[in-house]
A and B are shown apart, each in its own frame.
Chain A
Amino acid sequence: MRRRAAIEAARRLLGSGAARLGGLGARDAGARGPAEARAASSRGTGGPSIDAAGLAAGLAAGLASTIGALAGRPGAAALGAGWGPGAIRALAVLQVFLQGCADRLTQKTGPEGQDTSESGVVAEERPEAAEPAPPSAPPRPEPAVVDAGEFPPTLLADLEGHYARVESSGLWRRIGARLAAGRAAPIEWSSMIDGAEALAHGDPRGDDLAARLAAHFQRRSKGEAEAIAELDALLAAAEAWPLYDDYFAGYVWLQAMQAPAAAPGALAALLARIERHLRVTHALLRASAETGKVEFSAWRSKAAPPRGWKDIRVPAGLGEAVRRLYPDTDADTWASEGALPLVVEGARPLILRRAGQRVTIAPGGALTLRRLDLLEVPAGGDVTVRSPTLGVLRLPAGGMITAWTLADHLGDDARSKIRGWVGAAIQGDEAAMSELQAALPAAHRALREALAGGGLTPEARGRLQMLLVIFEE
């Protein structure tokens, strides 16, 4: 009796995946014959033409019997340190695998089957054929712009031996950590320059990045401005190694926002590169969660390493997983935080440059201005946009607006409102903090001014700094 109950429990346990597989295998085999069943079994996985459903059903039946037999024994027990935990884990993995097979065979929507179309996109934000430029607009030479929708063509080939080395050695991480700490304390530029130079590994691409980064820190130490083209080249050098790092991409953005004005095309190209960089970085993170991380271990013996020994171990399938996940990976907090919804008013359109694409937002159209976006106002007349919380902003004809510069175009009422929020936030008003967080492109400058003004308590200073971190990183 007890044994029968145990077997029944095991059936229930495996019911969701295995029974479905068993039923499917039997139904397919019975109704359509072996050939069709084989075809059906390989349809979901794209794998070899074997009777996967039958095989899985057999495995599931075997599993159920084994578990039933084990469950029939008396008493409760704790697993020991021997083979037990591993066996249970293996059984569980097998069950999940079988369930996955069942889901595929029944064409249940899975991660790969998800609809990745831009269902949430406001119609006006969809890529459209660019409207003809107004006649008075002068033609501008456009630099080559990275299309953030395009997967970096050489990344997979370069993963092994380069990306892995930088990621695993932690050299870059230390530089990034010092930059992050430098927001709240002075940076020792000499050590940053030394750190940058240490990145070189004798590889020309590594040497190029090290030299560019050292030169960049040198310029920052002297307070010299950096041109957009130089920042673009710096990020391109990192990608050529390849080094993909979201903190670095954010750092380059912050430097770009403070750089001298550049042609819209140059800035749009850099912003598109940053967007792609962030997406690759996050796709790598997601892929590592599936396949395991890249591991690095230096050879520590005095003896020569054995033939074929490598200090880098890139998990099999990492590159392919990155490519598969990339289309469904966005720029993470760079897509969701520090953004401001706007609606185009009046009769004149606005150009949105995002991720390497150029989109015309017609009057009445809505957009969310993100930190990686660039707005171009066609020559011939100002464009007005409305923020639901801050009211109307007038964008000058021929102007180029980013989340960093939007505050230049705030009306008096909006400025006054933001000043009020900042004052309330200093007093600890949470509602004002939320308002500021939701309007960071318009409010970040006021936050910085309040911090520079001094006279704040440590708590108030901390609150404003935390908001700025969300905007600047």
Chain B
Amino acid sequence: MGLLQRLYARNAPAVWEAETRLLSVLRLSRRPVAVQWIVTSACDLHCPHCYSSAGRRTRGELTTDEARRLLIDEVVKMGRPTLVLAGGELLLRRDIPELVEYAASQGLRWAMHTHGLHVPRHRDLFERCPPALAAISLDGPEDLHDAFRGKVGTYAAVMEAVRVLKESGCPEVVLGTTITRDNADRLEEMFPAVLGSGADVWGLHLFAPEGRGAEHRALFPSDGQLRRVAAFARRRRAVFHVELCNEWGSAGADDLYYRDQPFLCGAGRISCVVSATGEVMPCTTTDVAESEGNLRERPLAEIWSKGFRRFREPGHGECSDGAECWLQSRNGNGCRKAAFGRIAAGAREAVLR
């Protein structure tokens, strides 16, 4: 690790802020690290927490040709950030193998979010072009997962999908659990299965009342649950790669107990999300008012370099650094104080030395 890197590691949030100010003055934007594409809103499950209200295919989704020209070719021009494919359920789209192979032929790393049901029948694709990362949703122990997803056998499919992806050469398989009121207290029960699944990481997301989730606000965990989940994650990180995801916001100086890197909000700054119909959004919010433009009207690279100014302003702008996830805050679901506050305060309690 060089001197610069060491200085960066010691002061990452401050350096990030300084970098933001520099880029703002120079009217430059960072090269994105990842561009996520909501491949389709079609999904054969109907989960109550789905942020994209997935179900039926939306009219006007990008065609195969548009995906190649307006998305993949543009992503290549933007310096080849990782192309993350999500949905809906991406594997329901018939041209996925063709698009993935095209992206791979252009030298793009790709990753995906899936519910796992259709992974085995795409095994050939994964063996030819293994994703750099695959995230598979796991909503609870078997009874809860199947009930939540509305289909018996989906839990078993998740475990099978992990196996297939690992055998296909995917280097990092993440089991992603969206913490809700229903599953927050069942993590201990899930742990042996997560460990035995072969997954590399257990990512704990936080329910956001976006998309269909907005109709099920009661799914947001209680303050006590937030605190218990944070404590659980903190303890189990010692023995397995458990990570609190971005929706939790920053834990401040305690971030190193929850994450590999200090929390930095990437929305509109190192990543963006392209909706199924081509709207370019800062993150996975489905509120089209947040769109910076449609890639059918302007090139993605141009939208990226000229848009998202409010996230790139010095002084944190609208990003989530050092605070709640901006989207959770807007939805009135801030969790930082409940999840991290008391632990941090407790840690300052007197200890005789």
Give A residues with C-beta under 8 Å from B: 6, 9-10, 13, 67, 70-71, 75-81, 84-85, 88-93, 95-97, 99-100, 118, 120-122, 125-127, 148-149, 173, 176-185, 245-247, 250, 285-286, 289-292, 315, 317, 327, 330-333, 335-337, 339, 354-355, 357, 359, 368, 430, 433-434, 437, 458-459, 461-463, 465-467, 469-470, 473
Contact = CB atoms under 8 A, between A and B. Distances in A.
B192 A181 contact: yes
Contacts of B345: 336
A172 to B, nearest CB: 9
B18 interface: yes
B27 A180 contact: no
A434 B224 contact: yes
A166 B319 CA distance: 39
B289 interface: no
Interface in B311-352: 314, 342-343, 345-352
B352 A184 contact: no
B224 A330 contact: no
B256 A77 contact: no
B22 A184 contact: no
Nearest to B31: A79
B58 interface: no
B78 interface: yes
A89 B18 CA distance: 9
Nearest to A122: B350
Interface of B: 1, 4-11, 14-16, 18-19, 21-23, 25-31, 78-80, 141, 143-144, 182, 184-189, 191-192, 195-196, 222-225, 227-228, 231-232, 234-236, 238-240, 256-257, 262, 301, 304-306, 314, 342-343, 345-353
Nearest to A465: B188
Nearest to A81: B79
Contacts of A97: 7
Contacts of A291: 1, 6, 9
B246 to A, nearest CB: 19
Contact of B18 (A77, A92, A122): A92
A286 B240 CA distance: 18
A183 B188 contact: yes
A93 B7 contact: yes
A463 B349 CA distance: 27
A247 B238 CA distance: 6
Contacts of B239: 173, 176-177, 179-180, 247
Contact of A96 (B7, B224, B306): B7
A470 B231 contact: yes
A77 B10 contact: no
Q: Is the interface of A mostly helix, strand, loop or mixed?
A: helix
Q: Is the interface of B mostly helix, strand, loop or mixed?
A: helix
Contacts of A337: 231, 343, 346
B305 A357 contact: no
B25 A333 contact: no
B189 A176 contact: no
Given A77-B28, A184-B188, 8 more contacts: A80-B31, A84-B28, A120-B350, A290-B9, A333-B231, A430-B223, A459-B182, A462-B188
24 contacts: A78-B305, A79-B31, A80-B79, A88-B19, A88-B23, A91-B18, A92-B16, A96-B18, A97-B7, A181-B195, A247-B235, A289-B262, A291-B1, A291-B6, A292-B6, A333-B231, A335-B349, A354-B352, A355-B352, A430-B222, A430-B225, A465-B185, A467-B228, A473-B236
Contacts of A125: 350, 352
B305 A93 contact: no
B185 A466 contact: yes
B220 to A, nearest CB: 13
B22 to A, nearest CB: 6
B211 to A, nearest CB: 25
A301 B39 CA distance: 43
B312 to A, nearest CB: 10
A333 B343 contact: yes
Contacts of B188: 183-184, 462, 465-466, 469
A355 B195 contact: no
B191 A121 contact: no
Contact of A458 (B11, B144, B240, B256): B144
Contacts of B21: 13
Contacts of A121: 350, 352
